[in-house]
Amino acid sequence: MTTNIVLGVSLVILLCIISEKFSYKIGMPALVFFMFVGMLFGTDGIAKIPYNSYSSAETICSIALIFIMFQGGFTTSWKAARPVIGKAVSLSTIGVLLTALFSTLACHFFLGLSFQESFLISSVLASTDAASVFSILKSHNLDLKEGTSPILEVESGSNDPMAYLLTMTAVGIIKAGGVSNILLTIIIQLAVGFLSGILFARISRYILSMKNIAADGMDTIIIISATMLCYALTDKLGGNAYLSVYLLGLYLGNTRINSKRVIIAFFGDLTSLLQMLIFFIIGLLSTPSRMPQTIPMALAVSVILTFLARPLMTLLLLRPQKCSLKQCLLISWAGLRGASSIVFAISAVSSGISLSFDLFHVVFMVSLFSIALQGALLPVASKKLGMIDDSPNIYKTFNDYGDTVDFQFVRAHINPGNAWIGKMIKRIDIPFHSQVVMIKRGGRTIAARGHTVIEEGDDLILNIPSYLPAKNERVSEIHILGDHPWVNKTLEEIRMPENQLMIMIIRDEEKIIPNGDTRVLEEDTVLVFEGEKMN
Query: What is the model's pLDDT at position 312?
Result: 93
Where does 237-374 have alpha helices with state H?
241-253, 260-285, 295-304, 310-318, 325-333, 339-350, 359-369
Q: Which of 195-199, 309-313, 502-506 has the lowest mean pLDDT?
A: 502-506
Question: Higher-confidence residue: 359 or 9?
Answer: 359
Q: Which CATH architecture has domain 2-384?
A: Up-down Bundle (1.20)
pLDDT for the residue numbered 369: 86
Question: Residue 439: beta bridge partners?
Answer: 446, 460
Q: Taking the C-alpha atoms of 107, 112, 115 and 120 in order, what is their torsion angle to the nearest 10 degrees?
A: -50
For residue 127, pLDDT over 50 is answered with yes
Instruction: Identify which of 137-141, 200-204, 480-484 has the greatest average pLDDT.
Output: 200-204
Top pLDDT among 308 and 405 is at 308
Helices (H) and strands (E) in the chain, counts: 21, 8
The answer to whether residues 405 and 465 touch, using CB atoms and an 8 Å cutoff, is no
Percent of the chain with pLDDT over 90: 12
For residue 118, name the pLDDT band (cuts at 50, 70, 90).
very high
How high is the pLDDT of residue 40? 80
- For residues 87 and 142, give the distance between their C-alpha atoms in angstroms, rounded to a whole number: 21
Range 250-261 average pLDDT: 78
165-219 pLDDT per residue, tens:
889 888 888 887 665 567 777 788 888 988 998 999 888 888 887 755 555 557 7
* Length of the chain in terms of residues written: 535
| Candidate from 296-305, 363-372, 389-398 with smallest mean pLDDT | 389-398
pTM: 0.69
Give a three-class secondary structure readout of 465-521. ECCCCCCCCEEEEEECCCCCCCCCCECCCCCCCCCEEEEEEEECCEEECCCCCCECC
Q: Which CATH superfamily is domain 407-465 in?
A: Regulator of K+ conductance, C-terminal domain (3.30.70.1450)
The domains of the chain are located at: 2-384, 407-465, 474-530
Q: What percent of the chain has pLDDT over 70?
A: 82
Query: If you average pLDDT over residues 484-507, what whole number do you get?
Result: 84
User: Which pLDDT score is estimated for 180?
Assistant: 58
Closest to 42 in 3D by CA, of 340, 361, 350, 502: 361
Read off φ and ψ for residue 103, nearest 5 degrees.
-65, -35
| Partners of 460 in the β-ladder | 412, 439
Q: What is the mean pLDDT of residues 121-141?
A: 76
Query: What pLDDT was estimated at residue 398?
Result: 38
For 161-212, the DSSP string reads HHHHHHHHHHHHHHHHTS--SHHHHHHHHHHHHHHHHHHHHHHHHHHHT-TT
When pLDDT is averaged across residues 34-52 and rounded to a whole number, the result is 77
pLDDT at 20 exceeding the cut of 70? no
Taking only the tens place, the pLDDT of each residue in 230-255 is: 999 998 888 888 889 988 988 888 88
- Tell the CATH topology of 474-530: Alpha-Beta Plaits (3.30.70)
> Does 2 have pLDDT greater than 80?
no
- Give pLDDT tens digits for 428-450: 877 656 778 788 888 788 877 77
Lowest mean pLDDT among 152-166, 332-346, 432-446, 462-476: 462-476
Question: What's the confidence (pLDDT) of residue 396?
Answer: 43
pLDDT tens profile 53-70 = 888 888 888 888 888 888
pLDDT digits (tens, 9 = 90+) for 383-427: 888 887 765 443 343 334 344 445 567 788 888 888 888 888 878
- Residue-wise pLDDT for 271-299, tens only, equals 878 888 888 888 888 888 888 898 999 99
The Cα diameter of the chain in Å comes to 83
Provide the pLDDT confidence category of residue 533 given band limits of 50, 70 and 90.
low
Query: Confidence class of residue 155 from pLDDT cuts 50, 70 and 90?
Result: confident
pLDDT computed for residue 24 by the predictor: 53
SS (H, E, C) 84-136: HHHHHHHHHCHHHHHHHHHHHHHHHHHHCCCHHHHHHHHHHCCCCCHHHHHHH
Q: Do domains 407-465 and 474-530 have the same CATH topology?
A: yes
